[in-house]
A and B are shown apart, each in its own frame.
Chain A
Amino acid sequence: MQTRRSFLKFGAGAAAVGALAPLTVSANLSDVKWDEEHEVVIVGSGFAGLAAAVEAGKLGAKDIVIFEKLGVYGGNSTLNAGQACFANTDLQKQLGIEDSAELMVQDQLKSGRGYASEELLRHSAELGPYIYQLTKDCGCIYRDHIINTGGTSATRSHQVIERSGAGFIRPMLKAARGYGVKTKIRHKFEHLITAKDGTVLGIQVRKGYHFGHEDSGKLINIRAEKGVLIATGGFGANVKFRQALDPNLGAEVGCTNARGATGDGLIAMIAEGAMPVHLSFIQSGPWASPDEGGFGYGAGFSLYNFPHSVAIDRNTGQRFMNETADRKTRADLEVLRRDKDGKPNPALLIAPKHEAKKDPSMANVLKYNVAWEFDSVEAIAKHFDVPLKPLKKQIEDWNTYVKAGEDSQFGKRMNMSTGIYLTAPFIVQRLWPKVHYCQGGIQINTKSEVIAAKTGEKIPGLYAAGEVSGGVHGVSRLGGCSTPECMAFGVTAVRSMMKA
């Protein structure tokens, strides 16, 4: 029976504990009591973490653990269209697509606008066919259709049949467990535990953590025998952090990320002196819909339909961009679509139903009010208050570009829309960018080693892979190019650890 007195006592005690808690963070190493020890310690259960775990299993590691902060596995990696750009695969050859790692690197360098790392991009692209095979060995199944994502000079975005990252995450999680990998939810990474010389010895984890309840669970110390891989993803869902880096990305801007994308891993590494790079390069997805939350269904619909569809400004009834330009080009142009008071007036993606229906995304967007069907140009103009004449003219002009195989208006690559005319009935979805990906993060090298700001040298025992790392893509990342990069550097981190 709790009396009022004992309750008051408890209240005061809890407040005192709260005030003292931060002091434990800077405890001396000699005070560290290890609660657990593992050979390979991985933080995060997305693409990078799972690929690392599978590779560690393949390399014969006996004691591998993955700590996941949320109650579910996969983090942000399970919330996307399930695409991965690989160059020079058997599927590309079957479909008659000529491609190479070199061409993929060149495309990405262009989109990086002078800031991308050629060395890291090449490392990732060259590992592509290995990663493609690794995912297939885990049980991931690819569609026969390869997607043409923006900014690429060859069609190379391989997509799993689920058309979602879940099509990678769930088979890879299963495969990892098959290697004996211990997977733990509700384990939040708090900070690194380092020796005096900066070598990372382990991590502190909050076990039993419930997202949003920062004091939940209890702190335990984990010793890492071979190394710690931080694969915690980006910070897109951390509004204060992202807005400090880009004032345009406040709370009114949507975000495609999982709720856990708060940058904890990044912040903890910065605290230990790791080198932050390109943090202000935050990418918005140009395929997002304002008519649903997060990544949703709209993104998949746009991705499939961009090559043979037009994006229309509602004020002018005309196109305003190359619908398959790189993400930054499109997102920057989309966000300028405003009404006369400057309020958002999202552009319209108009797709021909005869082609849209070939992809399962159409049924989803129609069912959940993310897109709508119209049987004429007049009906679209009336519903969305678009000037009819210019819209009609624009669609007629577009169809002449399809016929000619050349887009004289915006120079779009037309070899993916051959013979696909824009005719009624139409499917229309609204477009408004959402924060999607952080190009910036912690600096790594081609061994996935984390670089110290002070020395420019590696921090012993510490590895990073995936969105938490930075400097790979530069100003803007191409679509489908994070998934293979996450996996490539996850695999690389573990190879380095096992050799060290």
Chain B
Amino acid sequence: MKKINTLLLLILGTCLAMSAQAQNKREYHEMVYDSGCKSCHDQGMKAFPSDNSCLQCHDMAELAEQTKREGHDAKQNPHDSMHYGQEAPCMECHGEHTPKKAICMDCHNFKYPKFKYEHK
């Protein structure tokens, strides 16, 4: 009996998590949602999308240009940083269904005011 209860709880938990996930969308990606989950989930729905997934539409060099910083702050460009260059995969800092924080913030008090959906 106890086993069955545990199993039910587990299933219930998964359902809740899944429905929360389904609701948590980025409005600027509406178009992508319209074309179906698989447009990002290229490795099956149970797995994280591949690191190339976002790069179907986004270009790292362009992003680096967009978030370019001058002078003293030049190396704090999150898309072209001193530590990781342009190699940090998108999902290290961005979450589509969960709020996240830039990996830089593990150690630094940087300000990225345009960063959306930050996990506080």
Contacts and interface: CB of A to CB of B under 8 A. Distances in A.
B71 to A, nearest CB: 10
B82 interface: yes
Contact of B48 (A7, A78, A208): A208
Interface string B66-86: 000000100100000011110
Nearest to B18: A7
B88 A11 contact: no
Interface in B51-78: 51, 72, 75
Tell me what chain A mostly uses at the interface: helix, strand, loop, or mixed.
Answer: loop
22 contacts: A8-B11, A11-B10, A14-B14, A15-B7, A71-B89, A71-B91, A74-B84, A78-B84, A185-B51, A186-B51, A208-B43, A210-B48, A216-B47, A216-B48, A258-B106, A291-B109, A292-B108, A294-B108, A296-B109, A363-B72, A368-B109, A368-B110
B109 A11 contact: no
Given A11-B14, A72-B83, A294 B88 contact: no
Interface in A248-267: 256, 258-259
A294 B106 contact: yes
Interface in A1-29: 7-8, 11-12, 14-15
Chain A contact-residue range equals 35 or more
A12 B91 contact: no
Given A7-B15, A72-B84, A185 B109 contact: no
A370 interface: yes
A495 interface: no
A293 B51 contact: no
B109 A164 contact: no
B103 interface: yes
A8 B10 CA distance: 10
Interface string A54-89: 000000000000000001111000110000000000
Contacts of A164: 82-83
Nearest to B10: A15
B105 A293 contact: yes
A162 interface: yes
B96 interface: no
Contacts of B85: 170
Contact of B107 (A15, A162, A294): A294
A71, A166, A293 pick with most chain B CB within 10 angstroms:
A71
B13 to A, nearest CB: 9
Contacts of B15: 7, 11
B7 A208 contact: no
